[in-house]
Chains A and B, each alone.
Chain A
Amino acid sequence: MNHTRQTLILTAALSFLAVLSLPVNADTAEEKGLAIAVEADRRDTGFTDSTADMVMELRNRQGDLSTRTIHIKTLEVTGDGDKSMSIFDTPSDVKGTAFLTYSHALDADEQWMYLPALKRVKRINSKNKSGPFMGSEFAYEDLASQEIEKYTYRYLRDETIKTSDFPDGVDCFVVERFPQYAHSGYTRQIAWVNKDRYVAEKIEFYDRKNDLLKTLTNKDQQQYLGQYWRPNEMFMENHQTGKSTTLRWKNYKFKSGLSDKDFSRNSLKRAR
């Protein structure tokens, strides 16, 4: 296990060196896919911490809308997955309900849920990561920090796609990625990675039967601190149920001096 991980890190490091001589020119489709992921990760490194507010809009097949508001804090952890905290503001009956996640590249994430009515911090069996996050079309694993080692990769092709941000088309790498986590809800994902920005414009998720399950579209992407791209809107459509979820992000802040004490299990109890 450790050996595999070291090998992966070594591979990642080597590919990192490779991508320094851009454009990406790796030999095999797997190497090129990994190199794109490594470059995307490199460009998103160093944000230290971030906070943001989010409105989650759930729509069922009939178009009925229900919303939740959540604020999210993230702490970048070098050499491991990030720590993150999601705190519910509405609906009012779940106000103060919070999730703390210590994500890891290959090991299972540790996740705790705080139930304010009982003042109970409850560890969540991380096997359940494929389950929906608070009734939305996003699974826990979709919202977890995206570490390089969580997937293996295969570059498929270059493609120019039209999006709401780029009505005239944007050049993308199309990369297939395969979750390495044994209990993932997906067999594979296909990501359209903006060649210029190294962020995903669109991701398709294939379920355990390898049928197309969902498509995520990242919209209105904005750059912060001259480096970090974040979408103002994430639209997830479930093709099998007709339901959809939109996440609207605002008030992104970076480097506000968060530390481990803001991501402790005790901090869950005072998170508001």
Chain B
Amino acid sequence: MNNIRTGLAITCLLSNTLIPGIVYGGEFSGYIGAQTRNFFEDALSPEQHDNSLSIVTEPEFFHEWDNADQNIEIKLFYRADQYDKQRTHADIRELSWTRVYEDWEIRAGISKVFWGVAETQHLVDIINQTDQVENVDGEDKLGQPMIKLSTERDWGAIDLFILPGFRERTFPGNEGRPRPQVIIDTGRDAIYDSSAEEKHIDFAARYSHYIGEWEFGLSLFSGTGRDPTDFRPVATNASGTAIVVPVYSLINQLGLDGQAFFGDWTWKLETAYIEVRTGAKKGTSSLKTEGGFEYTLVGIADSQMDLGFVVEYHYSDNQITDTIFDNDLSTALRFVLNDAQSTEILAGITTDVDTQTIGSFIEASRRLGDSWTLEAQLRTFHGTKKGRPLYGFRSDNFAQIDLNFHF
């Protein structure tokens, strides 16, 4: 009891003198959940499994003080996968302090930033590394150490970044599924073209503005590219599958993103120009672009339901690495029921124009009661013949169910 009192007294003293108010009134939130993945066909590799289970949690703490002009945010992440050792991973998604001044805002620590407007892939979004083991859609990101300085004026918004330290992309491991038909071993050291390796300090800047129904952003990044520029074989596993490690190079990237609203139509465009500064591909440059529209029918058939059509075309000259989005068309339907359970269904296909290889997905989600959410996904791959993109995923059609409890 005495110890607790002493502890409390010290905590109060510290918080009163050093960081006023931090321990008072902070908010805890987050979720804990379970996920199942069920594959419909036998795995290509004997190490892989047809059904797997994983558990996940993402607790969060937030506190603001000084009239909300200062805050700290902490968000931790952990997933334990039944089989895949590389998918069992922990991350600090957020551990940041923010200070707001009248015209400027500074954030320091580990944080996350999103850039861009498109739905299928995020070409200009480069601050955070992709947490690829989470899902094949690449929407999940790892926390990035940063100092961010922002201002928002009549003439637009500017964000300046210093990014000390690089995060390696996560990839499914030996027993992971789906995964490409090589094993990207993230347990071994990655190869860096720069002598600073993962300690290289990167810089980034973005200017964004909107004028009426037009919105645009211009961004620059100079540092270690988040996409590996190559994979180098280092070994083979027990069943003869190649084990590779990623190669990361220094790059410059110029990004442009914009959208415009015309009635029910939202037009979108993202373009990235990338130049490799180091390593075997030094001097190589590449252009990637995606553009399209979203069209929404509000209240279809006299209901509260909205129906959105998303169409996006992708182009890449594949100069640095081959991407599946080189000459592809994505189309999707988004049903938003606008009901009390926030039911949403998103279904889409991406077709490779050259080879007619198709990747498709259906994602449906809704709330159960006040605190639970249920999400179901179905992902399938078609036309995955030998020599075509996604050949490695030819037996990997799967259904995924996520049940999360939010607190």
Contact = CB atoms under 8 A, between A and B. Distances in A.
A93 B406 contact: yes
Interface in B319-343: 338-342
B29 A261 contact: no
Considering residues A107, A127, A134, A241, which has the most beta carbons from chain B within 10 angstroms of its beta carbon?
A: A127
Nearest to B159: A266
Interface string A106-122: 01101000000011110
Contacts of A127: 261, 263-264, 296, 298
A64 B341 CA distance: 12
A270 interface: yes
A90 interface: yes
Contacts of B67: 257
B370 A91 contact: yes
A265 B152 contact: yes
A110 B259 CA distance: 13
A107 B212 contact: yes
A120 B114 contact: yes
A58 B340 contact: yes
Contact of A270 (B100, B113, B367): B100
B29 A95 contact: yes
B152 A123 contact: no
Contacts of B157: 264-266
A262 B213 CA distance: 23
A270 B102 contact: no
A136 to B, nearest CB: 9
A145 to B, nearest CB: 19
Given A66-B370, A93-B406, A261-B103, A125 B266 contact: yes
Contact of A92 (B212, B264, B407): B407
Given A110-B210, A121-B114, A123-B215, A135 B370 contact: no
A220 B341 CA distance: 29
Contacts of B88: none
Given A130-B299, A261-B100, A125 B306 contact: no
The bracket for how many chain A residues form the interface is 35 or more
A222 interface: no
A124 to B, nearest CB: 9
B373 interface: yes
A210 interface: no
B113 A91 contact: no
Interface string A247-265: 0000000000101011011
A94 interface: yes
Contacts of B198: none
Interface in B68-110: 68, 71, 73, 98, 100-103, 105
A90 B370 contact: yes
Contacts of A25: none
Contact of B64 (A110, A130, A270): A270
A135 B306 contact: no
A60 interface: yes
A78 B7 CA distance: 51
Contacts of A11: none
B395 interface: no
Nearest to A137: B304
A127 B261 CA distance: 9
A66 B64 CA distance: 29
B266 A272 contact: no
Interface of B: 27, 29, 31, 62, 64, 67-68, 71, 73, 98, 100-103, 105, 112-114, 139, 150, 152, 157, 210, 212-213, 215, 259, 261, 263-266, 294, 296, 298-299, 304, 306, 338-342, 367, 370-371, 373, 404, 406-407
14 contacts: A58-B340, A60-B340, A67-B370, A90-B370, A91-B367, A96-B29, A118-B139, A119-B112, A125-B261, A125-B296, A127-B261, A135-B341, A257-B67, A261-B102
